[in-house]
Amino acid sequence: MKILLVNPPDDLAILGGGSVFVPKLEPLGLLYIAAVAKRAGHEVEVLDAFAEGLSQEEAFRRILAARPDAAGFSSFTSNGAFLYTYGRLLKKELPATLVVFGNVHACVFAEQYLRNGCCDAVIHGEGEYTFTELLKVRGTGSDWGAVPSISYAKDGAVVTTSAPSYVEDLALLPPPARELVKRELYDLGPLSTFRLTSAPKGKASRHMFTSRGCPNRCDFCVVHHGGRQRAHSLGQITAEMELLINDYNAGYIFFMDSHFISDRRRVLDLCGEIRRRGLKVSWGCTAHANCVDEELVKAMEAAGCADMNFGIESGVQRLLDGVHKGIKLETVEAAVRTVKRHTRINVTGLFILGLPGETPADSLETIAFARRLPLDMAQFGILTPYPGSPLFDELSKKGELDTGRRPDGTLDVSVWPRYSAYLSFSDGGTVWAAPGHTSASLKEMQKKAFRSFYFRPKPFLTQLKRMRWTDLPLYLRAFRDSFL
């Protein structure tokens, strides 16, 4: 079959100055699905409308021109309006095309998408094997009920076959089919929140995954994947690193795992394998303070680690406990100081303002905590309760959140673009504000946080050394929208 996989366009204009922080990343989820579909003998094409900067109309014309037998779409709430509008049009223009939606957003709104004729099926969980199985069933005319982890419309009802499924053995997956997208479209970007280190001049920045899932249960997060973390083999990881270094000119790689260092033994073994293979590349990762120790961070630095991002979220223990972060502030402080005392790894602290129960005084305490830590960089976001997170479910049930669902079964998709962590840098309002805050007061608190942290000699000079003069216009725009 002729397959088209689509990363939909996203309206960055609504984000205002926040758009400068949005990196263009290869759609690896789609590229893994593409690789499995290719292995099954299908002809696969990938359209990354977001990376190409296509308008919704341009993207739709490209999809129609491809005339695929099946079209699969990755969904985020910020681009969900495109799926709602153009999915219905696609089914009218190409009724024989199998239209499939995936990712967390589509799962949350599966019933509305299906009842409104936007797609034929929604995949729940990881889609590599499910999508290929759905193609097989469509080709043979078999009953869709035999395909696990999908929702589809049948006889006026929406049927869900089983709970979300996940790939248990990642070693069986082929590498993502990066050859299907234009490599020149992608880079982590000079103002990416992912890393402080820049790739050497003339080199590219790339990203990859070494594992999937997260053992933690933070209420604001959607990346639970069944609560189990599964890892790629060391051979897979280092082979992909070699590919990025040799074929994609990568001088820097960010490991996008939700929790890279959760398995200490695995990380130590990976660092040893990187050194054994002589892979000369800087890299960064996410980190949880509970898992840090001196031996580990020294081994990571020796293997090329240049950046660690800690999800700290708040400087108030009561708020961390309230969102089930599973961390103590003293552990956070000890972890950050361990990294800075024993290595030259850059440490970024990631904070969320406006957590449930947070008062303005609590916000100021979080800012003070960030200043007290020996961080090289800090990011202060405003809470966005994304669909699929426990917090989204809780606030929706309380009627505190506009989800777009209407009593008559329709969707008002105009609210969905506001579900973005970058929206606070624009003139638009945040999607939710904790009691005691308003959208405007949270945005002002965010600017106060940036000013308080960066208007000090060391953080300011760190950013100045990071900057390339060719990126000066981006920095000026970010300064205007983040600080003023």
Output 196-200 pairs: Cβ under 8 A, ≥24 positions apart. Answer: 196/284, 196/306, 196/307, 196/346, 196/348, 196/376, 196/377, 196/462, 196/466, 197/252, 197/282, 197/284, 197/306, 197/307, 197/346, 198/252, 198/466, 198/468, 199/250, 199/251, 199/252, 199/282, 200/251, 200/252
Q: How far is residue 201 from each of residues 74, 305, 308, 406, measured CA to CA in Å?
A: 33, 18, 22, 51
Amino acid 483: pLDDT:
67
- Topology at the third CATH level for domain 2-160: Rossmann fold (3.40.50)
pLDDT tens for each residue of 47-97: 999 999 999 999 999 999 999 999 999 999 989 999 999 999 999 999 999
Predicted confidence (pLDDT) at residue 478 exceeds the cutoff of 80: no
- Of residues 23 and 250, more confidently modeled: 250
Predicted confidence (pLDDT) at residue 475 exceeds the cutoff of 70: no
Mean pLDDT of 344-348: 96
Residues of the chain with CATH 3.40.50.280: 2-160
Predicted confidence (pLDDT) at residue 212 exceeds the cutoff of 60: yes
Predicted confidence (pLDDT) at residue 308 exceeds the cutoff of 80: yes
Tell me the whole-structure pTM to 2 decimals.
Answer: 0.94
Number of Cβ atoms within 10 Å of the Cβ of 96: 8
C-alpha span between 269 and 50 (Å, rounded): 36
Amino acid 300: pLDDT:
99
396-420: b (≥16 Cβ within 10 Å) or e? beeeebbbbbeeeeebebebbbbbb
Predicted confidence (pLDDT) at residue 249 exceeds the cutoff of 60: yes
Amino acid 192: pLDDT:
63
Band (pLDDT 50/70/90 cuts) for residue 228 is confident
Residues of the chain with CATH 3.20.20.70: 187-383+438-483
C-alpha span between 364 and 426 (Å, rounded): 22
Decide if 263 contacts 244 (C-beta within 8 A).
no
Mean pLDDT of 314-328: 98
Q: Rg of the Cα trace of the chain? A: 22
pLDDT tens for each residue of 160-187: 999 999 999 999 999 999 999 999 999 8
Q: What percent of the chain has a predicted confidence (pLDDT) above 70?
A: 90
Starting at the edge strand found earlier in the chain, the sheet holding 98-102 runs 43-48, 2-7, 70-74, 98-102, 121-123, 150-154, 157-160
Mean pLDDT of 33-39: 99
Task: Give the architecture (CATH level 2) of 187-383+438-483.
Answer: Alpha-Beta Barrel (3.20)
Q: What angle do CA 408, 413, 419 make, to 5 degrees?
A: 125
